[in-house]
Amino acid sequence: MTTITTPPEVPPAQGWSFPTYAESRLSNGLRVLRYDCPGQYVVSATLLFDLPLTTEPRELEGVAGLVVRCLTKGAAGRGAEEFADALALCGADLDAAAFPDGFAVRLSAPTIHLADALALMADSVLSPEFADDEFEHEQQLRLEEIDQASAYPQHVAVERLNAALFGDHRASRPVGGFADTVRAVARDDVVAFARRHLDPRRASLIIAGDFADLDPAALAVDAFASWEGSGDDADDVVAPAPVTADRAQLLLVDWPDAPQSTLRLAAPGITRADERWPGMFAANFAIGGNFSSRINTVLREQKGFTYGAGSSLDTGRSTGLVAVSTAVRADATAEALEDIVTILRDATGSITADEVSTASRAATESAALGFERSDSVVGRVELLLSQGLPLDHVDANLERIRTVTAEDANAALTTVLRPEAVTIVVVGDATTLRDSLRAWGYAELDEITP
C-alpha cells in the first residue's frame, strides 16, 4: 500500500464570467437571445413580454393572471388534456407568469425534443384555446386562492405593506387582482388582452442550454416565424413609477389569539441600475442579508425571539425597497421592532471592512455555482430585461462588488436608508399588542381589521 504524504497541487481559481450570448431578430420583430451552456442538456427558454401590470384596466385587475393560467390549458386545436400529453411526450414543462414588470411564458425541455417543445410553446401564445370551461375553472381557482391566502398572516402582512407603501399605484394591489376585479373578468376580456398584448414586437425569446448539436436560431424561426402582431401600436409600454411612502407608519392587523406576530418592515430603496447598488448590497448583507447578520444575531441568537430574521433589497424597474421580515413571539413584538429599528439606525457609518469583504466574497465566489444551470441563466436575463438593465450587467455588477469598500457601503446606506421613515406592519393579537406598540412611540398606531 502506498501512502501519499504530499497533497495534490490545487490550481489557481480561474476567472468566471456570465455566459456570452448571440442575438438575432425575426422578421416579425421577435428578439432572440441565445446562451450556449455546455453540459446543460435540459434547455430553458422564456418568452418575455415588456408588459407591466399597469396595462391592466383598473376594473379588470387580474386579467393578466387569468391569461397566464389559461395559456397552457389547450392550444392549436388541442384541449387541455391533449396539450398536456403533448408536453409530456416531449419531457417538457410549460408555465407562465404575470409580474409587476412583465409577462413571461417559460419552457424547459431536453435538447433532443427541443424543436417539438418550442412548437408547443409557440402554439400556446399564437393560438391558445381559452375554452369556456377552462376559463371558468381557472377563474374559480384564483378566487379560491384569494380566499385561502387571507388565512395566512404572512400574505396579509405583505398586502397591507404594499398598500401602505404605494398609495393608489398598481403596485399597492395584489398581482393577481382582488376578488371583485377577478370576478369581473369575462372570457372575452382574457382573449382580448392576449390578442392585443402578446405581440412579437414587444417580446424577447431567451434560450439557454447545450447547443453543440442544435441551431437554436433556426429552431426559433421554425417555431415563431408565422407569429403576426396584433396590428396595434406596439411601442414600448411606459409604466408610471410608484411613489413610495417616505414616512414612519405603524399598522397593526388584528389576528386574535395569535401566539406569534408576523412583522414586515420596508423603506424606500434603490434599483439595481443605481451606482450605489454595490455599496448598498454590502451594507444590507451585514445588516440582515445573511444568517450571521446583525438582525438575525440579535433577534435569534441573543434574544431567542424568532427562528430567523433578515433583510433584503427588493427591486423593480423603477423602484426599490429595503425590507425586513420575521415572525416573533407575541410577547416580544414591541421589543423586537425596537431592536430592528435601532440596528438600522446604528448601522449608519458602522459597516466594517470585514463585513464588506464577507459580502463581496459571498456574491462573487458563488456566482459560478449560482448560474451553473440553464434555468438560472435564463432567469437572470429575464430579470435584466424586465428591469431595464444592460445584458452585461451581471459581470459589471460583480466587478463593482469585488471592489466595493466600507466607505462605499456606509455612503450608500447613509444616502438611501432613513430609519425614521420605515413602514411597519404587524399581524398579531391586537388585544395584547396595542399598548406596547403605542408605548414604543415609533409612529401613531393604526389598527386594521382584516
The per-residue pLDDT for range 279-322, each reduced to its tens digit, is 999 999 999 999 999 999 999 999 999 999 999 999 999 999 99
Residue 39: CA count within 13 A, CB half-sphere: 4
Closest residue by Cα to residue 342 from 303, 389, 395, 399: 303
What's the confidence (pLDDT) of residue 193?
97
Residues of the chain short of pLDDT 50, as ranges, are: none
Rounded distance between C-alpha atoms, residue 32 and residue 278, angstroms: 30
3-state secondary structure of 214: coil
Q: What is the CA radius of gyration of the chain?
A: 24
Domains of the chain as residue ranges with CATH: 23-224 (3.30.830.10), 249-448 (3.30.830.10)
Q: What is the pTM of this model?
A: 0.93
| Pure H helices in 272-329 | 277-287, 294-296
Write out the three cell numbers for 384.
Answer: 435584466
Helix (H) or strand (E) segment spanning residue 266: strand 260-268
Closest residue by Cα to residue 276 from 230, 231, 322, 214: 322
Give the angle 67-73-77 at the CA atoms, nearest 5°: 110
**Residue at 28: amino acid letter:** N
In 10 A of CB 79, how many CB atoms? 15
Q: List 93's β-bridge partners, or say none.
A: 108
Helix (H) or strand (E) segment spanning residue 71: helix 63-71
Rounded distance between C-alpha atoms, residue 330 and residue 182, angstroms: 35
